Structure 1
Amino acid sequence: MTALTREQVRASRRISMVLRHRPESAGLRLDANGWVPVADLLRALGLTRAELDVIVENNDKSRFAIDRRADDADWIRASQGHSSRVAVDLGLPPADPPAVLFHGTPVSNVGSIRREGLRSRSRHHVHLSKDVPTALVVGRRRSAEVAVFEVAAAAMAESGHVFHRSDNGVWLTSEVPAGYLSLKPTNP
């Protein structure tokens, strides 16, 4: 994997915004599972297929999935992270989570998370990481001061909470009640 240029990062963010939050801003309509023809996305965003391939291949979080359909047309979608205002069903089957998962967040959110748990808010799901280093990276997207919560995922699943695993390894669930969370000490 090679690092994306600034222009490629900007294009990646635009693709994310369109596929996850505002497809109509580019004149696109996602299918029920969040897919759109690659040709339509390229035309709407003024990208070449070569530019898109570099972005998809080298995106630091594997945000996008490409699927070749029976008619040999390629379709693309965001792997997860859709706003609740975008009606999509990723079609991910329920999955048994590991014993623990992790959630990185700015330190300023710790109090409310301890009281309310983790809620999806404006997204379809709460996103959880498989390890602390990944959770720290995710938390640092919004703040330099990050806290990491450990999630008792297996206990949640035993209590009936449903988990899914996206194509890029992010664990998804609708909520994490406060009783399943513990603050994990982290070293800067």
Structure 2
Amino acid sequence: MDFTAASKFLSYVLRHHPEAIGIELDDHGWANIDDLLEKAQNKGKDVDRDIIWQIIANSAKQRFILSSDKKYIRAGYGHSIDVDLQLKPKTPPEKLYHGTDYDNVAPILEDGIKAQSRNFVHLSTTIEEARKVGSRHGKPEILIVFSKQMSKDRYRFYQSQSEASVWLTPFVPPQFLKRKS
């Protein structure tokens, strides 16, 4: 299995569907690596320890975290399943950015940014990263999120443990949004 396919497979299993290969995640989203590898092999997925280390060391997205004893792995963000990532609230930067498709902008500006099927809304620290995210959905549009003001108004933010440029929050109300011109 190549790097990209293995990364997508791990995202699918560790963020959304551990039952697809018959593994169980603990309450904090950790999977035993030996169990993960065995169950993946049983489902015909050619994933090994080396590819996992390569993904963790070389992936631009930094989606995964290894436990200190290197026996467990979890996704650092992006879950649609209920896990407690033990995130601590943190004061965000003045502004964050959200990339979306052009067709989503009007509804978002009216209703805010919702987590949809995920546990959190994902926000980026840079316009470039938000543009990459938006381009995955169609014609990219960038929204500015006035995150520091949201935080002052008691909305909680969390910084991803695996990717420092990713910030998480349950919802962004429309009054804290502006379309980037």
TM over 0.5: yes
1:52 positional shift: 1.3
**AA in 2 matched with 1:138:** V
1:61 is paired with a residue of what secondary structure? coil
| 2:83 aligned to which of 88, 92, 95 | 88
User: What is the Cα-based RMSD across aligned positions, in Å?
Assistant: 1.2
2: distance between equivalents of 1:55 and 1:43?
A: 18
Match of 1:178 among 159, 174, 180: 174
Give me the whole-angstrom Cα distance separating, in 1, the residues matched to 2:133 and 2:10. Answer: 19
Give 1:159's aligned amino acid.
Answer: D
The partner residue of 1:78 within 75, 78, 99 is 75
User: Are residues 1:158 and 2:152 paired?
Assistant: yes
Superposed structure 1 runs of 4+ greater than 6 Å apart: none
Give 1:3's aligned residue: none
1:15 aligned onto 2:10? yes
Partner of 1:133: 128
**TM superposition score normalised by structure 2:** 0.92
Q: Normalising by structure 1, what TM-score?
A: 0.89
* Residue 106 of structure 2, aligned match among 100, 107, 111: 111
For 1:60 and 1:39, how far apart are their aligned partners in 2? Answer: 25
Q: Distance in 1 between matches of 2:178 and 2:82?
A: 32
Aligned 1:57-72 pairs, distance under 5 A = 57-69=57-69
Following the alignment from structure 2 to structure 1, what is the Cα–Cα distance between the partners of residues 60 and 126? 16
C-alpha distance in 1 between matches for 2:35 and 2:135? 33
Q: How many equivalent residue pairs?
A: 174
> Which runs of 5 or more residues in structure 1 are unaligned?
1-5
